[in-house]
Structure 1
Amino acid sequence: MERRSFLRGAVIGTSAAAFGGSLWHGAAFAAPAQPGAGPYGALGAANSHGIQLPAGFTSRIIARSGQTVTGTSYTWHNAPDGGACFVDGTGWIYVSNSEINPSGGASAVRFDSAGTITSAYRILSGTRQNCAGGATPWNTWLSCEEVSLGYVYETNPWGGTATRRDAMGRFKHEAAAADPVRRAIYLTEDESDGCFYRFLPTTWGNLSSGTLQVFKAGTATSGTFTWQNVPDPDGSPTTTRNQVSGAKRFNGGEGCYYADDTVWFTTKGDNRVWQVNLAAGTYELAYDDSLVSGTVPLTGVDNITGTSSGDLFVAEDGGNMEICVITPDDVVAPFLRITGQSSSEITGPAFSPDGSRLYFSSQRGTSGSSSGGITYEVTGPFRA
């Protein structure tokens, strides 16, 4: 599945400029990623934060649950989960969900151009078990409720009013990823027999109305797919995943990431990373731990993000408490490992706008409790 030169098949003869960005190759039915030497080298000894990193990388703690964020008077939320970064003048903002029920919601930390924290604040309150979500091209954060008949809330990273987006469907939401080419928002569902969805807004940039569709395909791990409208996005009395015959089932949908005509999402129940080649109309496995030869480097797949180099970064819920990288050459290897926190999970990986800093959280930290969450920053020579 080498992703470096994507446009083939259905898009031959189409100008690459129409798609923008680097050209990733989603050749259908290629073999999933296998273990190998990662692009950043071996992990070193655990540092003072208990994190093992490759040479040249350093870490710092940004926030701890129940404690004030350094340089501010704001108390960081419990159980930090999904996150994203947004440009803020010459600096940036990192937003983070809170996966507790009740309360939930989301918070933000603002940084100046040097990476110094300048403020922290609440951006969403009064919701339930906000797990993952996704950023939009118009600079809002979609915070998703991971509860039965949960909602998506569109929030402002700078603070202010958040809006519930009913048209995006009521189900056990996990993550979201925006596709500006097809003007769609892809959505995962955290159920053992969940589905994969897309939402087509009536007007791009306005999520108040639109059409919710479900992914239809065969039972195989690769093939072609179609989309079909969900008749009743409200999900009551019949759940959204049970309204369309032939909707493909996925075992515990988690993270979701879009780049260059491809959307990747993870399923925790079978430790897979799925790759949907949107221009070609095909899907396949980018990673499956049951197909790995030798020692399995990535288990407990959860949140996912990527870089302009084509690298995918996948966080573990459990496993060895690692963030693993899957390269465009289909090599999977650990990028970092958190030690001494085996009762936690890694959540919310997101890169700063310039790609030089990676943010993420250990949801339950060393205590194993939602009140023990720790949010980190890793800085170093990430591949451009």
Structure 2
Amino acid sequence: MLRRTLLRTSAVFAGSVWLGSPQARVAVGPYGPLQGPDAEGLALPEGFTGRVLARSGRRVAGLTWHSAPGDGACFPDGDGWIYVSNSGLPLLGGVSALRFGAGGDVRDAYRILSGTSLNRAGGASPWHTWLSCEQITRGRVFECDPDGSRSARPRLAMGRFRHEAAAFDPDRQVVYLTEDEPDGCLYRFRPLDWGDLTEGALEVLTTSGAWRAVPSPAALTMATRHQVEDAAHFDRGGGCHYLRGVCYFATKGDGRLWAYEAETGRLDTVSGVRAAHGELFVAGEGEIALVGQGGAVSPFLRLAGDDRRELIGPAFSPDGRRLYFTALTGGGGEAAGVDGHTFEVEGPFAHAADR
């Protein structure tokens, strides 16, 4: 099944997700039919416009944009905002950033993390930092300053494993973490002080629904997912997001979207729980689709041409009026997914009125 990225307003989920039967798909969504493709091959509903902001290997605002773009997020920056984007290159990964002015002009581009490996996912903190996660054995979590004023710092207490995504639960003051392994786990990190991820306790969800401490988060002799006997296992954990008491997370191996209700400890697939209100966008190969409240799936945008291009790293600007994503170039072998074009789409998104 294809790897997909889900976006609920400004929330990002990464992973393969089953979208229902073909009968659930409709040709026209709430924004209307797609218009013809523009010069970049981007087809959008009427009233929306798109542009390419950055291309892998080419200069943008003085910076050579990175290869193998991964997940990203937007952060407020005075009267503008910043979009950060992971790089999934081995050994040369890290994170790059684009700084925007109030009118949407790119004012600067710079690196906020370098020298790490396979940075493909992460999450945004309530205090406006970016957690960039290494998707390697004994991978680390790095907390990055989107502004670039402070150096990125490894948060080793959050565990050494094949990290995927992170989601912050400010109500219980914990961070949920997914693991990209066939028998991966769902973890939560309880910082000693909320707002400081330097120290804290790493816990794993068990089959009973309880959380148990991981004895050795550093995983020097045994992987974290094997240290607790009754740990619950999931098939390649993907992106996750906390919203209104629920931690949503995807599993790429079996194409499911899960919901963990933090208050009750109930865990179920999204089809078995009441999902939060809001627009749900699904980014996959060649298009971003919109899932309606009734479950109908409709195209929101489509890229003409090579249908193997994977769309990844979607994020909305703080005002909800601009959507950013990257299209990875298709192909096989070592070159697959190395080149990427980072797009911006602007238009009358319904959720922008709620910002």
- Structure 2 CA distance for aligned equivalents of residues 231 and 327 of structure 1: 43
- Structure 2 CA distance for aligned equivalents of residues 90 and 372 of structure 1: 31
Aligned to 2:222: 238
Q: Kindly report which structure 2 residues correspond to 1:172-321, keeping only aligned pairs within 5 A, or say none.
A: 172-217=162-207, 225-286=209-270, 310-316=278-284, 320-321=285-286
Aligned to 2:76: 87
Query: What per-residue deviation string (whole Å, max 9, x for no partner) do you get for residues 206-240 of structure 1?
Result: 0001111112237xxxxxx3322111111221111
- Structure 1 CA distance for aligned equivalents of residues 323 and 41 of structure 2: 16
Aligned to 1:356: 321
Aligned to 1:74: 63
Larger deviation, residues 32-41 vs 91-100:
32-41
Aligned to 1:3: none
Larger deviation, residues 234-243 vs 346-355:
234-243
Aligned to 2:119: 130
CA contact (8 A) 2:162 2:180 kept: yes
- Structure 2 CA distance for aligned equivalents of residues 284 and 182 of structure 1: 20
- Structure 2 CA distance for aligned equivalents of residues 310 and 44 of structure 1: 24
User: How far is 1:339 from its partner?
Assistant: 3.0
Aligned to 2:6: none
Q: 1:333 to 1:271 in 2, by over 3 A?
A: farther
Aligned to 1:96: 85
Aligned to 1:171: 161
Q: Quick one: which amino acid aligns to residue 231 of structure 2? A: A
User: How far is 1:357 from its partner?
Assistant: 0.7
State the identity %.
Answer: 49
Relative contact order higher in (CA < 8 Å, ≥ 6 apart): 2
- 1:119 matches 2:84: no
User: How far is 1:83 from its partner?
Assistant: 0.3
User: How far is 1:95 from its partner?
Assistant: 0.3
Cα root mean square deviation, aligned? 2.4
CA contact (8 A) 1:365 1:374 kept: no
**Structure 2 unaligned runs (5+)?**
1-8, 10-18
CA contact (8 A) 2:331 2:337 kept: no
* Structure 1 counterpart SS, 2:157: helix
- Structure 2 CA distance for aligned equivalents of residues 191 and 240 of structure 1: 11
CA contact (8 A) 1:66 1:371 kept: no
Q: Quick one: which amino acid aligns to residue 382 of structure 1? A: F
Q: Quick one: which amino acid aligns to residue 62 of structure 1? A: L
Aligned to 2:13: none
Query: What per-residue deviation string (whole Å, max 9, x for no partner) do you get for residues 339-374 of structure 1?
Result: 323343221111100011111111336896444211
Q: 1:42 to 1:106 in 2, by over 3 A?
A: same
* Structure 2 counterpart SS, 1:275: strand
Query: What per-residue deviation string (whole Å, max 9, x for no partner) do you get for residues 158-212 of structure 1?
Result: 1130100000001100111111111111111111111111111110000001111
Query: What per-residue deviation string (whole Å, max 9, x for no partner) do you get for residues 274-333 of structure 1?
Result: 122223321222269xxxxxxxxxxxxxxxxx9x961222322xxx43223334444433
* Structure 2 counterpart SS, 1:255: strand
Q: TM-score, normalised by structure 2?
A: 0.85
- Structure 1 CA distance for aligned equivalents of residues 347 and 331 of structure 2: 25
- Structure 1 CA distance for aligned equivalents of residues 263 and 31 of structure 2: 31
Aligned to 1:341: 306
Aligned to 1:55: 46
Query: What per-residue deviation string (whole Å, max 9, x for no partner) do you get for residues 228-270 of structure 1?
Result: 2111111221111111122222111111122211121111111
Q: TM-score, normalised by structure 1?
A: 0.79
CA contact (8 A) 2:119 2:135 kept: yes
**Structure 1 unaligned runs (5+)?**
1-21, 23-31, 219-224, 289-305
CA contact (8 A) 1:33 1:326 kept: no
